[in-house]
Chain A
Amino acid sequence: MKTNYLFPNRLKFISGVLFVTSSLMLTLYYSVSQFGQFEFKAKVFAIYGNDGFLGESGWFWGVDNSILDEILMSIVITTGVVFAFCKEKHEDELVASIRLRSLAWATILNYSILLFCYLFIYGMPFLNVLNVAMFSQLLIFILLFRYKMYRFYKSAAYEE
């Protein structure tokens, strides 16, 4: 069985390293207030947006923004998608079925958590939930799939 929608295996290591480091940096950026001081101010194009947090709003215009989180989020999402959907070294149909099952469970788990947060977290802290929701499904899928693959590789460490 041939799968052609997966990224090549040689990208797995580099994307994994980049994903872990960039997501740690993004977590630090969001959670430790001192890191918020590293600002790369730039004029960015907005399809729709406010200038500043509550400034005037408009369509298709330039706004001033600190772009560090945009850069980090771009890296987290692109490397995350590549790492999550890389071919395994020995790609076969059982691996494909483990991947599919992990994806289904990750989706169910992610939306359960999101629904829980939607019902029980209000006000400004909910913005944090929305931030995490940007990549939570990807993260849960990666953790689940890597754990199942670890169990899979360990399942036949010896010849019967």
Chain B
Amino acid sequence: MKNNIKVQRAIHNLTQQDLADKIGVSRQTINALEAGKYVPSTVLALKLARLFEKTVNEVFQLEDDD
């Protein structure tokens, strides 16, 4: 699964730490998400999408091997 959290974060002018604080995870988790090393739970995906005022589909996309 890929995501564009990094792009969304830049649009909203947030650092990794800001974003982490807003949705209640550690900065390392945001880092792992952006690097594509971690697939978040549905709750976390919904929280991120709500913060960015997008739908989940606009932030997260399936890849061919999913």
Contacts and interface: CB of A to CB of B under 8 A. Distances in A.
A155 B24 contact: no
B29 A94 contact: yes
Contacts of A92: 24-26, 29
B62 interface: no
Nearest to A155: B28
Interface string A142-160: 0000000000110110011
A153 B28 CA distance: 7
A1 interface: yes
Interface in A87-125: 90, 92-95, 97
A124 B29 CA distance: 49
A93 B41 contact: yes
Contacts of B15: 159
A92 B15 CA distance: 18
Nearest to B31: A156
Interface string B11-55: 000011100000011111111101000101101100000000000
A159 B31 CA distance: 9
A156 B16 contact: yes
Given A156-B16, A159-B16, A160-B16, A93 B40 contact: yes
A28 B47 CA distance: 51
Given A92-B26, A159-B15, 4 more contacts: A97-B38, A155-B32, A159-B16, A159-B17
The list of the 9 closest CB pairs from A to B, nearest first, reads A156-B31, A90-B26, A92-B25, A94-B29, A156-B28, A92-B29, A93-B41, A94-B38, A92-B26
Interface of A: 1, 90, 92-95, 97, 152-153, 155-156, 159-160
10 contacts: A90-B25, A92-B26, A93-B40, A93-B41, A95-B26, A155-B32, A156-B27, A156-B30, A160-B16, A160-B34
